[in-house]
Copies of this chain bind each other. A is one copy, B any other.
Amino acid sequence: MTSVPTDSVLPLTFLGPEGTFTESALLKVPGAAALARIPSNTAAAALNKVRNGEAFAAMLPIENSIEGGVPATLDAIANGVELRIIHEVVVPVSFVLVARTGVTLADVTAVGTHPHAWAQTREWFAAKLPLATHVPANSTAAAAHELVAGTSAFQAAVCAPLVAEQTGLNILAAGIEDNAGAVTRFVLVAKPGSLPVPTGADKTTLAIPLPEDHPGALMAILEQFASRGVNLSRIESRPTGQYLGHYIFSVDMEGHIRDARVAEALRGLHRVSPDMRFLGSYPRADGQPPLIRAYNSDVAFAEASTWVESLLV
């Protein structure tokens, strides 16, 4: 089964430029390699292509095990015309140091890359190139492309392995990331209308504005999950931008909207936070089914409904 329609006349988009980790992630989606791919400069631009019908779906980074949630993605999904996450991909974060042919490590005095990549390779540079300075770039791939164009104020770039492959730049060093186990999670976002079928190992993503600025509001939200036995696998707070202390909680829960316990939790959350957004139900990248107690199973929900119906006489 593919996650994207292989006969789509629409291309896929991703947070570019070419060669980013995001493009690598997109290529792991079943069926994606067969379709046209176009890069977007920002998360918002990528999602607008989807909203405008210029792309079938957009691949974006949403969470990094080192840096945390990706605000631009979280905010772009939570606002504007509604969209749905239909697939997730988790990829290890591994960096290479690249340069044009002929440049050696000894020649490198300035390194171009995105600040996050720079932050995640500090130890390697402290050990191997302690005097190198950082030139910030909009993405790791952008820095590499500047090298190729010969316009850069730096001699080397930190980027994803895919860029080296695509550009033919020379790899001076590989695996230079400080945290060997770091991963980034990416999500593929499409228009509503392609709700993935439940697999038994699914996730559902929500954006829940805290309904009132009162002490118990967060507990009231959590209670809607707890009373249906729904576990959270991610919870991030994002400011609404209205005033300090006003939040939207970005949440991943275990299960699919077609699971009875998830559907009922969604109904409860919608009541207490009517502006809540459903951002999709989709298969988990790790394929790990959740542990569901018998009394929170679909069977238990159905049985409870039948029981209550039987009392209405």
Contact = CB atoms under 8 A, between A and B. Distances in A.
Name the interface size band of chain A. 35 or more
Interface in A264-303: 264, 266-268, 270-272, 274, 278, 295-296, 300-301, 303
Interface stretch (A10-18, A20-28, A30-38, A234-242): A234-242
B239 A65 contact: yes
Given A244-B63, A296-B271, A237 B239 contact: no
Nearest to A245: B233
Nearest to A295: B271
B222 A258 contact: no
Nearest to A195: B313
A263 B237 CA distance: 26
B226 A226 contact: no
Contacts of A241: 65-66, 179, 182
A272 B295 contact: yes
A71 B63 contact: no
A245 B90 CA distance: 13
Nearest to A307: B270
Contact of A268 (B228, B234, B238, B266): B228
Interface stretch (A156-164, A167-175, A212-220): A212-220
A231 interface: yes
A28 to B, nearest CB: 16
A67 interface: yes
A181 B243 CA distance: 8
A39 to B, nearest CB: 16
15 contacts: A63-B239, A68-B71, A68-B239, A69-B237, A136-B136, A193-B313, A195-B311, A216-B226, A224-B227, A258-B312, A264-B264, A267-B301, A271-B300, A272-B295, A278-B311
**5 closest Cβ pairs, A-B complex:** A267-B304, A227-B227, A215-B231, A270-B304, A271-B295
